[in-house]
């Protein structure tokens, strides 16, 4: 049985300006023990899908279940099997960290949860904050508490909606160490993130969502393989000629151009020379997940594949 199953999930929001279809028939399953990535640009529908999974938003159509428990018909069972770290920081300012975790345990009917709470506090680098009031914590610390709260009832499925947004390097490492450990012990993880190198490093499979539709769902290694095979990277202070600018990804003085074969490298270098660009640190390297992502979101790859190809 799948850990999480999305079957033809749709969601239409009613807004003052009319109806808006945020999800258009999303279908995929996540197997027990997977570390699964859900990627997509702002507004693609990731949080909507997760909110439906968590029972916070009602789907307009389709079915969603957690280890077989339907999130609507069998809400309590489904909820118990999920630990959800929400994208937005929500917390009760009057509790201390430990109280918040005790309270959350109580919500799931768990008493004497002290040992596990201590392990969570330790594992997430919160031990010295246990007695601090929630409102005294920095943003990053609050996020750690949200993670601890989501895990307090030892859910088999952990859902993280952009847990590392605005979080420093140290917390990211602490968090990934802890979550990876739980994943190795058998927990299923569903992660959304805009840090593509994070998804590349952690996720075994990745689904890419665009405008409410799954446009790719593959093993991370396959996704990387199908990318325009290589990237030509260099630095320059000169403006790019139009022909190059059209296909380039430019970040400040860093320029990246997709290349498919050696002849293309030669063509591009000739164009660089012709334009009289002064370049530094030229290299040809493997495409990363960000290259694939941009390729899919902007390019031809954006046509949705047939449903049966995803099943």
Residue 297 binding target from Mg ion, ligand ATP, none, CB below 5 to 8 Å by type:
none
Residue 193 is a binding residue for ligand ATP (CB under 6 A) = no
Instruction: Tell me whether residue 47 or residue 105 sits nearer to ligand ATP (CB atom).
Output: 47
The residue from 42, 185, 251, 300 that contacts ligand ATP (CB under 6 A) is: 42
Task: Give, in degrees to the nearest 5, the angle at Cα 19 between 18 and 24.
Answer: 160
Q: Phi and psi dihedrals of 285, rounded to 5?
A: -140, 175
Beta carbon of residue 202, minimum distance to ligand ATP (angstroms, whole number): 18
Q: What is the C-alpha to C-alpha distance for residues 245 and 37, in angstroms, rounded to an integer?
A: 31
Q: How far is CA 75 from CA 1, 4, 29, 81, 148, in A?
A: 18, 14, 19, 10, 22
Footprint on residues 85-114 left by ligand ATP (CB under 6 A): 87
Question: If binding is defined by CB under 6 A, does position 58 make contact with ligand ATP?
Answer: no
8 contact, one of ligand ATP, Mg ion, none, CB 5-8 Å limit per kind: none
| Region from 37-45, 143-151, 251-259, 280-288 binding ligand ATP, contact rule CB under 6 A | 37-45
> Could you give the string, one character per residue 153-192, with x where binding to ligand ATP holds by CB under 6 A and - elsewhere?
----------------------------------------
Q: Does 44 bind ligand ATP (CB under 6 A)?
A: yes
Q: Decide if residue 300 touches ligand ATP (CB under 6 A).
A: no
Contact pattern from residue 67 through residue 106 relative to Mg ion, giving x for each residue in contact according to CB under 5 A and a dash for the rest = --------------------x-------------------
**Closest by alpha carbon to 149, among 188, 195, 92?**
92
Binding mask 32-61 for Mg ion (x = CB under 5 A): --------------xx--------------
Q: Which residues bind ligand ATP (CB under 6 A)?
A: 13, 15, 20, 22, 40, 42-48, 87
């Amino acid at each position: 049985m799948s850990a999480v199953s999305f079957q033809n999930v749709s969601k239409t929001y009613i807004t003052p300006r009319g109806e808006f279809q945020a999800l258009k028939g999303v279908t995929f399953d996540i197997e027990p023990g997977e570390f699964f990535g859900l990627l997509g640009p702002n507004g693609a529908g990731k949080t909507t899908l997760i909110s439906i999974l968590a029972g916070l938003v009602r789907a307009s159509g389709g079915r969603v279940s957690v280890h077989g428990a339907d999130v609507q018909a069998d809400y309590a069972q489904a909820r118990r099997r999920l630990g959800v770290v929400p994208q937005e920081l929500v917390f009760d300012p009057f509790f201390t960290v430990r109280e918040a975790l005790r309270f959350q345990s109580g919500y799931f009917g768990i008493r004497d949860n002290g040992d596990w709470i201590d392990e969570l506090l330790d594992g997430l680098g919160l031990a010295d904050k246990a007695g601090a009031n929630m409102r005294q914590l920095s943003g990053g610390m609050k996020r750690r508490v949200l993670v601890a709260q989501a895990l307090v009832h030892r859910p088999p499925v952990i859902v993280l909606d952009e847990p590392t947004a605005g979080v420093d390097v140290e917390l990211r490492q602490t968090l990934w160490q802890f979550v990876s450990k739980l994943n190795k012990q058998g927990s299923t993880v569903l992660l959304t993130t805009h840090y593509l190198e994070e998804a590349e490093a952690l996720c075994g499979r990745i689904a890419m969502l665009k405008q409410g539709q799954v446009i790719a769902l593959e093993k991370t290694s396959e996704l990387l393989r199908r990318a325009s095979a290589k990237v030509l990277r260099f630095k320059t202070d000169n403006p790019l000629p139009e022909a190059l600018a059209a296909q380039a990804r430019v970040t400040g003085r860093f320029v990246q151009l997709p290349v498919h074969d050696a002849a293309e490298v030669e063509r591009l270098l000739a164009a660089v020379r012709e334009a009289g660009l002064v370049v530094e640190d030229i290299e040809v390297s493997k495409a990363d997940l960000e290259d694939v992502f941009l390729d899919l979101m902007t390019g031809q790859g954006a046509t949705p594949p047939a449903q049966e190809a995803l099943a």
